[in-house]
Amino acid sequence: MKFVSILLITLLLTMTAVAAVANTESATTDLTKKNFKKHCASCHGEDRLGIVGPPLIPQSFKRLKAKAATLVIKNGRVATQMPAFGKTLSDMQISDLVDYIYTKPTHSPEWDMNAIKQSHKISHAPESLGNTPVFKADMQNLFLVVEIGDHHVTLLNGDSFEPIYRLKTHNALHGGPKYSKDGRYVFFASRDGWITKFDIYNLKVIADIRVGINTRNLAVSDDGKFIIAGNTLPHTAVILSAHDLSPIKLIPVVNEAGESSRVSAVYTAAPRQSFILALKDFPEVWEIPYVEKEIFVHDYRYEMPEYTGKPFSIRRIKLSNYLDDFFFNQDYTHIIGAARPEGERFPQGGQVIKISSGRKVSNIDLPGMPHLSSGISWKYKDTRIIATPNIKKGIVSIIDTKDWKTIKKIKTKGPGFFMRSHEKSPYAWVDVFFGPHKDLVHIIDKQTLEIVKTLQPVPGKTAAHVEFTKDGRYALLSIWEDDGAVIVYDALTLKEVTRLPMKKPSGKYNVYNKTHLEEGTSH
């Protein structure tokens, strides 16, 4: 009997050891690694740590089960650049890829404060540069055009539409550049974690720093003193000095149960003097004040101080659902958010959270997958409405901010990604980014809520992302291709004025509209 017991123990230990090896990257077959390199690495990186696509390691799959991952590889994923491989790879090859991306990498990906400090590079001390622009232009009517085709940014004169300067950037900028309040400085975030500060007046890079391995986006405090960057890998948020990007604080994104989360997005809530973080892996929103102040709860039942917010402390707002994407109303009192639908537990639809009380005040009828971070607002009759495109359904949802009711769903030719307008424009523009009609752009009358014209700028080429000049007179549209262009339209007659060749211009960002929180653009 003793011999049998020893034999059983030995067998169990052997099985455990085999299982442990099977759960490591080294156990993956060469064929699976070759398939990954051929089909996945260009977007997700050979090390699986993400490039333009997200990291493909277990830390990224807290909400995506293996069965669902199999369907994503087989059928693609709505509202992303993820293609379908069901006709390219066999079921067994797809199953092997799923096993591979759910295994731990040989080297655990980490990026701590020491690594952040070591990456910091100051190219020009801000105080060493002059305070007068080295070129002539209306400094409030400049555009930065992000060209992801060859990783450059073009500084564009918004009056003459002539390029002023072209800057080489880190790979795959994401989340849109963010300006200092006076418009002199701009901050970029790249997918692979690099933050860059650029002086527009002097056309010089001030500093670079790497805050993570895979980064979502950044935000700038309203007082111009601080930057926050949110990461998907590692699960952290990083506070930097806006002066020279020197690191101030590393914040692990962990809930009270000790579970960590990726950051979905970070934004600045200027009236509250705080940053707002949406989290990917547990249903919380964080408010992080960047000045010391009392955070008050304002509710119809009572008014009392909730706590004294120390700079960079965390206020946890617990929710009934995730917020993968969100939008502020125009006065920053409410968050309007939505998540990817995930069955009965987390069904489709949106929710409205009053920031001061941290309470949900309403659900919103939002089918499909609204792209709320691209939402806009305007005055309509006796109210203010919010409009959001939808990256899963061909609709634009119009929401009344008085009662949070959806008052209209405008049918479009397909799912859209970006929506833009301007306070002085009678029209809102929405693209049809996904599907066979990607070359179309709808023009919506803001008072009748009807599509009054549909443009086809370049047949067969993706048309997307409109941004207006400071005065709302012109609208700039991207042809989202490697041999693309920025097309300038008269915003009233809707006639083309000129076009500028660009390398896959993904977005255009006007200094005035962004720094003045113009209602027709995302904030």
Q: Read out DSSP for 354-374?
A: ETTTTEEEEEE---S-B-GGG
pLDDT of 54 higher than 70? yes
What percentage of the chain exceeds 70 in pLDDT?
87
pLDDT of 345 higher than 90? no
Query: Which of the residue ranges 244-253, 272-281, 292-301, 446-455 would you say has the lowest mean pLDDT?
Result: 292-301
Residue-level pLDDT at 507: 93
pLDDT of 327 higher than 60? yes
Superfamily name with CATH number, domain 2-101: Cytochrome c-like domain (1.10.760.10)
* Residue with tokens 């260009």, as numbered in its chain: 42
Contacts of residues 46-49 at CB distance under 8 Å and 24 or more positions apart, as own/partner, are 47/105, 48/101, 48/105, 49/105, 49/109, 49/213, 49/214, 49/233
Instruction: List, in order, residues 6 or more apart from 316 with CB less than 8 Å away.
Output: 255, 256, 284, 286
What percentage of the chain exceeds 90 in pLDDT?
66
The answer to whether the beta carbons of residues 59 and 198 sit under 8 Å apart is no
Residue-level pLDDT at 9: 43
Residue-level pLDDT at 33: 78
User: CA triplet 201, 204, 210: central angle to 5 degrees?
Assistant: 125
Considering only residues 10 and 71, tell me which one the structure prediction assigns the higher pLDDT. 71
pLDDT of 17 higher than 60? no
Q: Where are the domains of the chain?
A: 2-101
Q: What pLDDT digit, counting tens, does each position of 479-513 carry?
A: 999 999 999 999 999 999 999 999 999 999 999 99
Gap between the Cα atoms of 19 and 38, Å rounded = 28
Query: Which of the residue ranges 79-88, 374-383, 463-472 would you say has the lowest mean pLDDT?
Result: 79-88
- For residue 347, what pLDDT band results from cuts at 50, 70 and 90? low
Tell me what percent of the chain is helix, strand and coil, each rounded to the nearest 5: 15, 40, 45
